[in-house]
Chain A
Amino acid sequence: VNARTAPERSEAWRAGIKKYYIYVVLALIVVLFSVVKLGQVQMFGRGHFLSPDSLINLLRTAVPILTLSGAFTLLMISGYIDLSVGSAMSLSAVVFALMILNGFAFLPALLLTLVMGLAMGGLNGLLVMKLRITPVIATLVTLNLFKGIALLIVPGGLSAIKSSAAKLMPAWINDYARKGVLLRLPWAFYVAILVIAVLAVVQRKTILGKYAAAIGGNRTAAELSGINAVRMVWVLYVIVGLFAALAGVARASYMSLGDPLSGDGMELDNIIAVLLGGTAFSGGEGSVLKTIIGALIIMCVTTGLMTVIPAFWQVMAKGSVLLLAVVLNHLLVRARAKA
């Protein structure tokens, strides 16, 4: 009686693939880049993809996307999108660097930047949820708005907020995102891990996570069953803004300067990570932890490719990865719909 029929078995296969493919992809990519470099350097030696130096470097540069993509996933689960995250991150980096350059201590500068992040997310929420402007349009416009403000803050003739003859950027700005504190990894990395852990719990165990999935699955039904969709999604936008600001602080601290273009393309990296993680396009289901694996895949691909192909191939590579992620996502989502 317990013997399973053929369709049941193939369905179990599909479910298995859906559950584990992303880990396999990550492992394959790591192996691939490790093998590609094999001829040139000693296994696990310095300069190798899997060497401690290169791993630590990879994780340090991954801090912004690790910080941000969890919140981004929650928003996409609810069926909404925020294309302004990259610009919000740039603006935060610029403002944070400006404050540090002008003698603020770390904590006040951090707190003020985070408050600004809340405001940016709040503005997006206001435009999308209260004024009912289509999410893509509203956040595309705020993308340009935040970018424009960041460019205005940086004095004419300079490319970024940085040390000059008149004012010196304090060296301790590095302490947060570059200097190793434990296992040679910086504070910012552990903060990102904490953020991921909290958001994973929020997604799985709290009302906010359940409501986000309900709204993404069917907003009308969710509202009819008493969920205040406007307020819930607004909260999600604010959370995304908050972590975009935190990511900006990490980027500024890592680079020791406030670059108004440093967050460009962040929204695409996040979308790729979310799609690789199997979150449905239209919302309704998804997983914060799988997005994080997706984010690691992107970082591995970008870092790994930098060692083997010229820089001008990067844009093409990322575009192809995005389309591949869409195809993978489509196949899995359709597999579910058929089953």
Chain B
Amino acid sequence: MKVPTKIGARMSNESFLSLFMLGVLVVLFGVACVFVPNFYLPQNMLNILTNNWFIVILGIGVTFLLITGNFDMSVGGNIAMTGVLSVYFCQAANVSQNALANGIGLPYAAALVLALVCAMGIGAINAFFIARLKVPSIIITLGTMMLARGVAQIVTRGAQRNTSLPDAFGVLGNTAIRGTSIKIAVLVMIVLVVAAFVFEKLTVAGRRTYLIGANPEAARLSGIKVIRHITLLYLASGLLAGITGILLASEFKAGVSGRAAGYEFDALVIALLGGVSIAGGFGSVLGMFVGAVILSVVTTAATGLLLSPDWQFTLKGIVTFIAILAQRFALDRRKA
């Protein structure tokens, strides 16, 4: 085995993969600039970085859970539920013959807090079954996905709620930073990504996440409270989905029961594109963000090339497989 000449000269596999995917991103971007008209315009670049904000916010929770070896497929349903509930809680009570126009009539702030609590409730159900009862996460989170979307459908009777809302409701999702087209939601995304990065690299709890993923038994024996850690991660993932749901509901001034269908898959895809591995203990938030931008470049380029939206599913599938195999190949070459 070759001994590194300088101590610490060799970067970690995670940083290596993030850089590798960054290189892929640059190449993809260059190719897209050549073939897609107007792709290089600053406004388009800004869109590519910011349009996916909801997937990136979800991706934070999904990434940390994947690092511990767990899935969260409930985030899409959770967005729909939280959005619908945030509307329902603050719709005025008894104002109309139409049942969908009547809500509970809570103050706006209380409605948001209550909706977030419900979002974390979904996370708590996930955590109970997965961390305590040791049921495979994919089965439970597919169940809570239906549970959350079911709540959204029942509250909206399978449709949506969008009337008798307080004026403040649309502010959060539609206000842009002065002089730019950047919305508050994008700012929230940036703050959350930075916070997640700090958590991942600089806190003890962040590093424990990796140990749990690499070897749960060793983690438990070395005194880490594995059950509590995974519970907190699921609660956080629920909270992030809740924040996304509230922002989306505010942007459209409506709680729609069909909102965010398939977002759980997109969040998983960007994490995989960023090199996160379900095999445990491997991945990073920055990689996930690079993955999100790659996905955004690919889908924007496909739209620019006039591919019909029906291509999205197929394209995402193929890109993900290529990414997984390329990453494994790159890592194998590195080890050799």
Contacts and interface: CB of A to CB of B under 8 A. Distances in A.
Interface stretch (B36-44, B101-109, B222-230, B311-319): B311-319
Interface in B133-179: 133, 135-136, 138-140, 142-147, 149-151, 153-154, 156-158
Interface string B297-312: 0000000000010111
The 6 A-B pairs with the shortest beta carbon distances in the complex, nearest first, are A316-B150, A148-B313, A319-B146, A148-B314, A145-B317, A312-B158
A136 B265 contact: no
A83 B150 CA distance: 21
B34 to A, nearest CB: 26
A36 to B, nearest CB: 20
A81 B139 CA distance: 10
Contacts of A273: none
A316 B153 contact: yes
A281 B134 CA distance: 10
Interface in A306-339: 310-320, 322-323, 326, 330
Contacts of B313: 144-145, 147-148, 151
Nearest to A313: B154
Contact of B324 (A81, A83, A133, A268): A133
A141 interface: yes
A134 B143 CA distance: 20
Contact of B315 (A133, A136, A148, A318): A148
Contacts of A145: 313-314, 317-318
Interface residues of B, number: 44
Contact of A144 (B136, B278, B317): B317
Place the interface of chain A in its size category.
Answer: 35 or more
A295 to B, nearest CB: 17
Contacts of B279: 134
A318 B314 contact: no
A268 B272 CA distance: 23
Contacts of B311: 148, 152
Contacts of B321: 127, 133, 141
A268 B318 CA distance: 24
B221 interface: no
Interface in A276-292: 281-282
Given A282-B136, A323-B147, 20 more contacts: A133-B324, A134-B278, A141-B316, A142-B317, A148-B312, A148-B315, A148-B316, A148-B317, A151-B313, A152-B311, A152-B314, A312-B157, A313-B150, A314-B150, A319-B143, A319-B150, A322-B146, A323-B129, A323-B140, A326-B133
B204 interface: no
A310 B313 CA distance: 31
Contact of A268 (B146, B310, B312): B146
A271 B142 contact: yes
B296 interface: no
A131 B257 CA distance: 38
B252 to A, nearest CB: 20
A140 interface: yes
